[in-house]
Amino acid sequence: MASRLLFLARHGEQDRPAGTTDDPPEVGLSARGRRQAALLGERLAGVPFTAVHHGPLPRAAETAGLVARQLPGIPVYATELAGDHLPHDTDPTGLPSAYARLLAGFSASERVDGPRLTAAAVARFAAPPADGDDRVLVVTHTFLIAWLVRHALDAPPGRWLGLNHHNAGLSVIRYSSAGPPTLVAVNDVAHLPAELRGTGLPPDYRF
């Protein structure tokens, strides 16, 4: 029997220029985001990962670098598969207006390229190895984590919407040749103190 523990971590809080609320793609972590990433690394220290993979954007790359400081000798790879892309060209009909507005912001090319990359990410990461056991860490973005959680539950494709993840939150899925995927943890932030939790969530989701 072969098995994989897939660790999925959202990047730390992104820095933003003063007076803005958007997430510029080429901006790295805030001071708080760097602390979140360092604490995530401490949480994962000692896990015998086969590899760490991260998306190409600065916020994911910087998070992975800070985590990898606690994982000496483990190879780290940048991959477009872990990037920030639309996972599914979901039909907005009947969805809440906030979801419909979100989906309307994607271009025609993003509606093609995003699902293609997501399908490749599923094929690459969401399966056990050919034999033996491994542990893989992917530092990525909330959309891909939401899609992989939805995929593990075999939920309807549009159900990735609404699965929001804390910055530096940790989700773990077990894939086994003996049966369907198992959710081990979802959005775990036990490694973060209260003042570092809740970032990356819509304001009305915070508690």
Tens-digit pLDDT profile for residues 41-55: 999 999 999 999 999
**pLDDT digits 0-9 by tens, 31-41:** 999 999 999 99
Neighbour-count burial of 187, counting CB atoms closer than 10 A to its CB (0-12 exposed, 13-18 middle, 19+ buried) = middle
pLDDT of residue 205: 74
Question: How many Cβ atoms sit within 10 Å of the Cβ of residue 24?
Answer: 14
CA-closest candidate to residue 147, choices 3, 2, 53, 10: 10
3-state secondary structure of 82: helix
Residue spans of the chain under pLDDT 70: 17-25, 206-207
pLDDT of residue 16: 78
Q: Are 62 and 10 in contact (CB under 8 A)?
A: no
Looking up tokens 């996972």, which residue turns up? 87
pLDDT of residue 20: 54
Q: Which amino acid is at 151?
A: H
